[in-house]
């Protein structure tokens, strides 16, 4: 088993990002935060409901929809059953209607996706970020948050100390993974989608649809010292 030893990085002041680089979309270029995911509360408005574990997600879904759907009844005889899609459509339409006016609907929430640094961007002195959803198993089914209209060319700008280390790691073909926390509120017209997994027959998937207001890129405040290199 590969053992990796880490030591703490001294932090510098966050880099200044020219306003012109933002253009009209302030989500496109963000600074890299050297904090752990468990400390994300320190970066968010105090009224934000953080949904990064199953218990918090289940509580939030309960406040909106009361109880999970009967996935077995919805599934019927599987994807070959022509009635399944109609049942899903009716479920989503009925729950959208019942959800209108609930206090939890406009609440500010935060969820997490996975990110990985890709190519260097000389204009911002940062790195492009490849994103992917995280799936959380819950008693409601598999939950996957769905951000609405997220910019396609996301870039994160590190401090000078971070940048040196990241260039070295990427140059050595190491994968640099990030926690990408997105903050926003549910889209009122279609706030939660219920569907079935395309990979696992009969597995229910719950997709809260979020209009994103801000994005936070988190890299734990650690650096390398690989035991195998010694």
How is residue 226 annotated by DSSP?
A: B
Residue 80 has pLDDT above 70, yes or no: no
More confident residue, 221 or 17: 221
Residue 124 has pLDDT above 50, yes or no: yes
**Over the stretch 25-73, which tens digit does the pLDDT of each residue have?**
578 899 999 999 999 999 999 999 999 999 999 999 999 999 999 999 9
| Residue whose structure tokens are 């940062």 | 126
Q: What is the pLDDT averaged over residues 191-220?
A: 94
**pLDDT, position 76:** 83
Give the separation between CA 163 and CA 155, rounded to whole angstroms.
13
**pLDDT, position 196:** 94
Label residue 102 by pLDDT band (50, 70, 90): confident
In this structure, the number of other CB atoms found within 10 A of the CB of residue 137 comes to 10
3-state secondary structure of 216: strand
Rounded to the nearest integer, the mean pLDDT of the chain is: 84
**pLDDT, position 149:** 81
Give the separation between CA 102 and CA 139, rounded to whole angstroms.
22
CA dihedral 50, 56, 57, 61 (to 10 degrees): -110
Question: What's the first-to-final CA gap in the chain, in angstroms?
Answer: 15
């Amino acid at each position: 088993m590969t053992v990796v030893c880490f030591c703490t990085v001294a932090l510098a002041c966050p880099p200044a990002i020219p306003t012109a680089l933002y253009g009209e979309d302030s989500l496109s270029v963000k600074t890299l935060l050297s904090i752990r995911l468990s400390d994300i509360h320190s970066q968010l408005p105090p009224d934000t409901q953080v949904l990064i574990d199953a218990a918090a997600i289940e509580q939030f879904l309960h406040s909106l929809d009361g109880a999970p759907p009967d996935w077995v009844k919805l599934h019927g005889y599987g994807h070959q059953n022509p009635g399944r899609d109609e049942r899903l459509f009716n479920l989503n339409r009925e729950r959208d209607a019942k959800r209108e006016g609930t206090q939890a609907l406009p609440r500010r929430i935060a969820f997490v996706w996975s990110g990985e640094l890709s190519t260097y961007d000389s204009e911002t002195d940062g790195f492009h970020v490849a994103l992917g959803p995280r799936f959380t198993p819950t008693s409601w089914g598999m939950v996957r948050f769905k951000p609405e209209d997220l910019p396609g060319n996301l870039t994160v700008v590190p401090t000078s100390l971070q940048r040196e280390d990241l260039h070295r790691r990427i140059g050595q073909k190491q994968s640099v993974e990030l926690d990408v926390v997105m903050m926003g509120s549910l889209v009122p017209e279609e706030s939660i989608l219920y569907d079935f997994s395309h990979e696992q027959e009969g597995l229910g998937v719950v997709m809260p649809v979020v209009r994103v207001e801000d994005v936070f890129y988190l890299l734990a405040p650690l650096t390398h010292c690989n035991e195998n290199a010694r």
